[in-house]
Amino acid sequence: MNKIDILNRDKFVDDLLRVMENISDNKASTCFALNGAWGSGKSFVLDMFEEKLGQIQSEETSTDKYFIIRYNSWQYDYYEEPLVAIVATMISTIEEKTKLFPDCKEKREILGMLKATGVSLLSLGNTVVKEKTGMDFQKAYETVLKGKKDGAEAYEEIHEYDVYFGFNKVMGELIALLQELAEKYTVAIIVDELDRCLPEYAIKILERLHHLTENNNNTIMIIAVDKKQLMSSVKQIFGFESPEKYLEKFFNFEIKLDYGMPSEKILEKYAAYIDLFDREIFPFDDSIEECLQNIFKDIDIRTQEQIIKKVMLTHKLLYIDKKDYSFMCMELMLSVMLFIYNEDANFLEKTVDMHNLESIFTLSNGIDEPIFSAFFKEKFEQILVGSQSNFYDESLCYILLSKASLYAAIIYTWYWMHGKNKNTVIDHTKGDSYEVISQNYKELKKFVETINMMR
């Protein structure tokens, strides 16, 4: 897996694996929800989880312990009947898992059964969209009927194959096959992208999977959901006042996935954007990772990516030469205020009161503040201690200390981007390390004007 884990999900995945192992060791069966809001990274977590789960070996057989079925429910949502997609997923899994299923009679028998079942399902009223799936069930059907080899032949002779046998019989055959697999492996069914399906189809998927697995042993199903959205769908479809009660039929328990906290790998993930800046223009000792982590705190990964994309586009349109790292942090802070907190671009007309750092990031509504406010206030307080100067022009002047600081550069730029304040002034000594960033505020005003048009 080449994706970068910037939210430190590794520990969460390890905890999830321990849950799986404990259930598997008891040959128990369950279904639980991985509950996370849109953009919390459920698919990413499941990718990591599946990769690690596939590496676990059975102590008894020294082979893979888990038979993993990864079902992307949205990928095949054009099938009227979800079981068709589930069968297609199982066929692909068995054909790909050469270590679990070498080319042998057992493999051909299972594939024969699955393909025959798939044809039956389609014949009960579903249409194959061959161009989208690349899977020709009619060809599979002909192979099963005409091939007469090994497992396929044995399957047809025993079960008196009939393309029109009923839906309940199809369900029974699939349940039996899953139970047969569960005698050798822990069957792990990983269901993803349910949130992207139409509400009625998502409920149908849950119903089908529940009937397939409810009485089987050694079968564990993990379904990634946005529970709040799912409950809304249930209420919309059935009119239930307590949709959570209905979902208890499917989920024995849930594991909550929050938005996480960006890690130091944030520089690696957004390297293309960060390469537009040069740290040596204004060198400092502060951790740039810590600053970016707090700017993006509690913002889901998809929204982060969308913000970076817009910021990067705006930056390239406006600037040719590289900027310093404090400029980068200001771009991101301003963009978060615009896109996440819906701040009006006119907020720059307000003045900044250095006497009252508690309100330095208060939004235009006069009440709310960005999540990152507390972090930056603490940093600003440390900078302003010792930088206070005497009164001139009836204003209290803060002169920045000579040693370069990322947060001193940020508060300086933030102050000068806003309207003038008669009570306080923040400044630096001419020719010191801050000289190079002293005009950033002018360029950043252009940035706000431009990126605000992308909202």
Report pLDDT digits (tens) over 3-55.
677 667 888 899 999 999 999 998 888 999 999 988 788 998 999 999 999 88
Q: Which of the listed ranges 118-127, 132-141, 263-272 does the model predict with the highest average pLDDT?
A: 263-272
In sequence order, which residues have a C-beta less than 8 Å from that of residue 435 and are 6 or more positions away?
A: 428
d(CA 49, CA 68): 11
**Whole-number Å distance between alpha carbons of 425 and 404:** 19
| 70 residue type, one letter | R
Mean pLDDT score, 81-90: 79
Strand 186-192 and strand 66-72: pairing?
A: parallel
Judge contact between 216 and 182, C-beta under 8 A.
Answer: yes
What tokens were used for 31? 């279904």
pLDDT tens across 329-382, in order? 999 999 999 999 888 777 777 777 766 676 788 777 766 888 999 999 999 888
The residues, ordered by sequence, that sit 6+ positions from 175 with a Cβ below 8 Å of its Cβ are 211, 212, 213, 215, 216
SS3 414: helix
Determine the residue type at 431: G
231: exposed, middle or buried (Cβ count in 10 Å: 0-12, 13-18, 19+): middle
| CB-side neighbour CA atoms (13 Å) of 335 | 27
Beta partners for 392?
Answer: 395
% of the chain with per-residue pLDDT over 70: 76
Parallel, antiparallel or unpaired: strands 388-392 and 395-399: antiparallel
Tell whether the model's pLDDT for residue 99 goes beyond 70: no
Q: What tokens were used for 30?
A: 């369950």
How would you classify the pairing of strands 219-225 and 30-35? parallel
Where residue 287 falls among pLDDT bands split at 50, 70, 90? very high
Q: Which residue(s) pair with 425 in the sheet?
A: 397
Instruction: Say how far apart CA 246 and CA 234 lie, in whole Å.
Output: 8
Q: 69, 251 in Cβ contact below 8 A?
A: no
* Rounded-to-integer distance, Cα 447 and Cα 440, Å: 11
CA gap 314, 308 in Å, rounded: 10
* Exposure b/e, 125-136, CB count within 10 A at least 16 = b: ebebeeeebebe
Q: For residue 391, what are the β-bridge partners?
A: 396
State the average pLDDT for the chain: 80
User: Quick one: pLDDT at residue 120?
Assistant: 57
397 pLDDT higher than 60: yes
Is the predicted pLDDT of residue 399 greater than 60, yes or no?
Answer: yes
438: phi > 0 → left, psi -120 to 50 → alpha, else beta; which? alpha
- Confidence check: pLDDT of 150 > 80: no
Mean pLDDT of 115-120: 59
pLDDT at 32: 94
Q: pTM for the full model?
A: 0.65
What single letter denotes the amino acid at residue 93? T
Please compute the mean of the pLDDT values over residues 100-109 and round it to a whole number.
58
d(C-alpha 31, C-alpha 206), whole Å: 11
Q: CB burial class (10 A; 0-12, 13-18, 19+) of residue 216?
A: middle
290 pLDDT more than 90: yes
Asked whether the beta carbons of 295 and 262 are under 8 A apart, the reply is: no
Q: What is the DSSP letter of 185?
A: S
Compute CA distances 391 → 12, 276, 323, 386, 438, whole Å.
54, 40, 33, 15, 22
pLDDT tier at 111 (50, 70, 90 boundaries)?
low
410, 414, 417, 419: CA torsion to nearest 10: -160
Distances (CA, A) of 135 to 92, 130, 146, 342: 10, 6, 18, 46
pLDDT of amino acid 407: 95
Q: What percent of the chain has pLDDT over 90?
A: 38
pLDDT range class, residue 409, cuts 50, 70, 90: very high
Lookup: tokens for 355: 């006497």
| Contact (Cβ atoms closer than 8 angstroms) between residue 117 and residue 174 | yes
Radius of gyration of the chain (CA): 29
Asked whether 122 and 98 are in contact (CB, 8 A), the reply is no
- Kindly tell me the burial class for residue 215, based on how many C-beta atoms sit within 10 Å of its own C-beta (0-12, 13-18, 19 or more): exposed
**For position 242, what pLDDT does the model report?**
85
**DSSP tag of 350:** S
Extract the tokens encoding 172.
């029974």
